[in-house]
Amino acid sequence: MIELSNVTKRFTSKTAVDGLGLSIGWGELFAFLGPNGAGKTTTIKMITGLLLPTEGRVRVGDFDLVTHGREARRLLGYVPDQPYLYDKLTGREFLQFIVEMYSIPADRARRNLAEQIATFEMAGYVDELTENYSHGMKQRLVFAAALVHEPRVLVVDEPMVGLDPKSARLVKDLLREQASSGTTVFMSTHTLNVVEEIADTVGIVDQGRLLFHGPLDDLRRQQREETSFEKLSLRITEEGVPVSSG
């Protein structure tokens, strides 16, 4: 699970995240929404340990990211919005590097590598240098690398960017399957139809403040009218007034 308790992140005079509180349970697929500059990426970087909070506490599983960062990060898989790979490694070598970094036993590592290569249909190019990959091929490899050590928490930032329809369908099914198997999925996205299709709960943030957290149906009931999810989320961020769930 993921828990953020009164988390604030400041950069000199700018407050990127302001007193954020979130609790996301095991097996929950959570969608994090908001306009550009709302604090989404900063929040993700704190959850993954790439940034430390100025105030407050971030926990992954039973571990505090500040005091037990190594243990917390072992539970995590992370897919950034832009895939970063080592160009002079093949896809298979990159996956092998990941399993060795997590000290996965050899038999389990071979099984996990084969499973991810099959899941993401990479057999035709996994032994080519990643510098020759298209964006979609890179994105598949990054997903495979995030899952090859069987994380309990999966954090994905804009997972659908640049994917063709077949790859997008694969990723949506995969995220839903991960949540159904008990993995906590934290997904930041601007693709609202994906949120409506696969998310369990939604968080809407703007100017570093959480404006809504709860099931989509609760948000619709709160608005007391039938309208599109896009209009609901835009109205909340434009008004800047927190909306309670339930």
Instruction: Show me where the domains of the chain are located.
Output: 83-150
Q: 222: pLDDT confidence band, cut at 50, 70 and 90?
A: low
Q: Are strands 201-206 and 209-214 parallel, antiparallel or unpaired?
A: antiparallel
Q: 227: pLDDT confidence band, cut at 50, 70 and 90?
A: low
Q: 13: pLDDT confidence band, cut at 50, 70 and 90?
A: confident
CA torsion sign for 117, 122, 128, 132 is negative
What is the number of alpha carbons within 13 Å of residue 35 lying toward its C-beta?
12
Q: How far does Cα 85 stand from its chain's mean position?
A: 18
pLDDT in tens, 52-84: 999 999 999 999 999 999 999 999 999 988 888
pLDDT in tens, 119-135: 999 999 999 999 999 98
pLDDT in tens, 77-123: 999 888 889 999 999 999 999 999 999 999 999 999 999 999 999 99
